[in-house]
Amino acid sequence: MSGPLLAGLGLGVSFGETAALEDVSLSLSAGEVVAVMGTSGSGKSTLLHCLAGVLVPDRGEVSFAGERIDNQSDRRRSDLRLRSFGFVPQFGDLVPELTLLENVALPLRLLQVGRREATGRAAALLDELEVGSAASRRAGAASGGQVQRVAVARALVHCPSVVFADEPTGALDSATGELVLEALVATARDRGSAVLLVTHEAVVASHADREVVVRDGRLDLLAFPTVG
Ligand SMILES: Nc1ncnc2c1ncn2[C@@H]1O[C@H](COP(=O)(O)OP(=O)(O)O)[C@@H](O)[C@H]1O
Ligand SMILES: [Mg+2]
């Protein structure tokens, strides 16, 4: 395949009178980590949701692997998300009745991976993110920091082509945040996933190959690529 793995072109989203996103274009290549920065309310989550096919933009197009996805049915976009995308929501959004381990194994189970293998892969990721000792805790009883790490593990467990992470370190201390960022960057380096990382912290963005800034729903063209 030539061209970017994921591309948004001229994206626009309005919520009533609010223009959350205006004419934003952004593309990602395989193996690339891109940070989306911007203050609260600037449109970062809206951009992420459009690119991930969670939200259909009012204007513009989104393509994955050369194929338009924004005009596909809800069912096809859900299926694409399950197979090819990993999404870390800003507030975790785990299934509260399931254990942390079951939450991470869930995408694999939905993809028909056997229970044993799914559980093994989920447990290994929880260990890597240093939350393995809480694996049997119900998600509804877990701390914010545990939920956030488990949401990251759930997004990575099926080796997706694209990982979307919305403020994935917001509830973590800096050492644990570092662990999460390393796991996200390793996914890009080792498996060639594209990683789109939303943050308002410069230290988080410094892990990315490239950073863009959203301001009032528009991409700030004054943002320069980060070095190193
Ligand atoms: N579902 C929604 N309904 C109404 N307004 C929304 C909705 N989602 C986002 N917005 C508005 O769109 C703008 C961008 O929001 P968002 O993308 O969540 O910003 P960020 O993630 O940068 O904090 C904000 O003004 C926000 O209030
Ligand atoms: Mg947000």
**Ligand 1 centre and the CA of 73: distance in Å?**
24
Determine, yes or no, domain membership for 147. Answer: yes
Q: Is the CB of 18 under 6 A from ligand 1?
A: yes
**Ligand 1 centre and the CA of 13: distance in Å?**
10
- Residue 12 · residue 19 · CB < 8 Å: yes
Atom of ligand 1 minimally distant from the CA of 48: 17
**Ligand 1 centre and the CA of 134: distance in Å?**
33
Determine, yes or no, domain membership for 98. Answer: yes
Question: Cβ atoms within 10 A of the Cβ of 176, count?
Answer: 18
What is the DSSP track for 120-189? HHHHHHHHHTT-GGGTTSBGGGS-HHHHHHHHHHHHHTT--SEEEEESTTTTS-HHHHHHHHHHHHHHHH
**Ligand 2 centre and the CA of 182: distance in Å?**
21
Determine, yes or no, domain membership for 225. Answer: no
- Residue 24 · residue 47 · CB < 8 Å: yes
Q: What residues contact 14, with CB distance under 8 A and at least 6 apart? A: 20, 58
Q: Is the CB of 44 under 6 A from ligand 1?
A: yes
Residue 172, both tokens: 């973590």
Q: What residues contact 168, with CB distance under 8 A and at least 6 apart? A: 88, 148, 151, 152, 180, 181, 184, 197, 199
Determine, yes or no, domain membership for 196. Answer: yes
- From residue 20, alpha-carbon distances to 61, 72, 105, 201, 219 in Å are 16, 22, 34, 21, 12
CATH number of the domain at 86, please.
3.40.50.300
Q: Is the CB of 99 under 6 A from ligand 1?
A: no
Determine, yes or no, domain membership for 26. Answer: yes
Determine, yes or no, domain membership for 49. Answer: yes
Instruction: Give, for all 228 residues of the chain, the pLDDT tens digit.
Output: 568 999 999 999 999 999 999 999 999 999 999 999 999 999 999 999 999 999 999 999 999 999 999 999 999 999 999 999 999 998 889 999 999 999 999 999 999 999 999 999 999 999 999 999 999 999 999 999 999 999 999 999 999 999 999 999 988 999 999 999 999 999 999 999 999 999 988 888 899 999 999 999 999 865 555 554
Q: How many domains does the chain have?
A: 1
Determine, yes or no, domain membership for 187. Answer: yes
* Cα(42)–Cα(33) distance, integer angstroms: 20
Determine, yes or no, domain membership for 228. Answer: no
* Cα(159)–Cα(133) distance, integer angstroms: 23
* Cα(228)–Cα(226) distance, integer angstroms: 7
Q: What is the pLDDT of residue 171?
A: 85
Which residues span the domain enclosing 89? 6-220
Q: Cα dihedral angle (180, 213, 92, 155), rounded to 10 degrees?
A: -60
